[in-house]
Structure 1
């Protein structure tokens, strides 16, 4: 009798596993209300075991193509865990996405690399300028309200390439990724002895991204050049904001 119970249990587990592993990715996205959360796409193909989301957009900002692959063993503990990869012009990313109890979404071991000269969806005033940006997230956790836990590091060399119109080169910028209230925030700071540079990127619970930057410098060529990039003078500080108000 025990033997038959074991066989029946194993068969039932295999059947349930097959249903899960071969569940269409498009149906899974519909069930989770992904579009209501601001995620859109042109086509979802394959299954949650091995599928792809093509031409993905988040809050109308292009992400690119996303490949997903379900991890089986976390299912046995009531968690859905996916290996995800992102590819778009000038943008590459990877990480593990886990859905757990209480509508918690965790991203772990994530890495994002951007070639700023090729990446889409950035401010047209900055498009085509050389430089790279990296974001390494050890862990970030969201719930329905927003960011609840984050640990990571960001870096960019965008300023080190300078600009021939200004005869100027700036320092690399580095800083942490943390939660501030319900927002995920990345702070980048740099100082070259002649100026101070601060960048703040913020993603709120609505998945909308905003970027602000502040530059304080006595370098005349730089001060003349910053307005060409959209900076506005506020006393002795030049301030940049994206998206622009009213844009």
Structure 2
């Protein structure tokens, strides 16, 4: 039997195998740094493991804690020049739930099909929002402009605020408005609502509007900085992720 001799020289074959090994075991933290995921607002105390089977420990989006997340790079968007990181809540953090992906390209950032239950931190301060539920949320920013947004968000509230009884939740469907992402959350009765606008540079502005039925609450709201307007008493808070 005649043997078939490989034409590939040993140095070339060794180089190809080495390149493949490096690709398979490249650290997740290296790819995240190169892709600029941190500039999009997603940070972590540590990124461990390979790019195909890694973990983000104590992940955060701005002030919003996401817990430990399993993370891996999706290979096909790389062909289009975009880094897409698939995210799932780690099994050791059952109190938080998150599934979806974030993507970064030369022209912008995006979040794809995010479904999550997370703690919002001080994002909606001074309202006592204890949890945010995201339902199939997708957002895309191109060159700093919101170009696509869909999905729903529900905010769970606890207790009252300045003597004003609050509903159990506020909810709404997200959309682009001008260059910003608009998250309009309202109670079922419509007496309480929050408009959260997020710009492409990670600045945000939250406008809280309350319509208290108790006249005694009006002075307390005014003392906290609320201003009377046509739709009720309004307070605007600005910040940055």
TM-score (norm 1): 0.69
Q: Tell me if structure 1 keeps the 8 A contact 2:65–2:118.
A: no
| SS of corresponding position for 2:31 | helix
Q: Which runs of structure 2 are paired with 1:165-244 in the superposition (5 Å)? A: 166=163, 168-170=165-167, 172-190=169-187, 192=189, 196-220=191-215, 222-223=217-218, 226=221, 230=224, 232-235=226-229, 237-243=232-238
> For 1:22, which of 10, 25, 50 is the aligned residue?
25
| SS of corresponding position for 1:218 | coil
> For 1:42, which of 42, 45, 48 is the aligned residue?
45
C-alpha separation in 1, matches of 2:53 and 2:209: 43
The CA RMSD over aligned residues, in Å, is 4.0
Q: Which runs of structure 2 are paired with 1:11-160 in the superposition (5 Å)? A: 18-37=21-40, 39-59=42-62, 61-64=63-66, 65-75=68-78, 79-85=82-88, 91-99=96-104, 103-115=107-119, 119-122=120-123, 125-126=126-127, 129=128, 131-158=130-157
C-alpha separation in 1, matches of 2:167 and 2:64: 29
For 1:8, the equivalent position in structure 2 comes to none
1:20–1:200 distance in 2 versus 1, CA, 3 Å: farther
C-alpha separation in 1, matches of 2:140 and 2:59: 21
1:224–1:171 distance in 2 versus 1, CA, 3 Å: farther
- Runs of 5+ consecutive residues of structure 2 not aligned to the other structure: 1-5, 8-13
| SS of corresponding position for 2:51 | coil
Q: Tell me if structure 2 keeps the 8 A contact 1:111–1:135.
A: yes
Q: Tell me if structure 2 keeps the 8 A contact 1:187–1:198.
A: yes
The structure with more radius of gyration: 2
Pairwise CA distance, 1:32: 2.6
How many residues align? The count is: 227
1:220–1:202 distance in 2 versus 1, CA, 3 Å: same
C-alpha separation in 2, matches of 1:34 and 1:79: 11
Pairwise CA distance, 1:104: 4.1
| SS of corresponding position for 1:54 | strand
Q: Tell me if structure 2 keeps the 8 A contact 1:214–1:238.
A: yes
C-alpha separation in 1, matches of 2:34 and 2:131: 37
Pairwise CA distance, 1:112: 2.6
Greater per-residue helix proportion? 1
| SS of corresponding position for 1:156 | strand
C-alpha separation in 2, matches of 1:73 and 1:14: 21
- Runs of 5+ consecutive residues of structure 1 not aligned to the other structure: 6-10
Pairwise CA distance, 1:222: 4.6
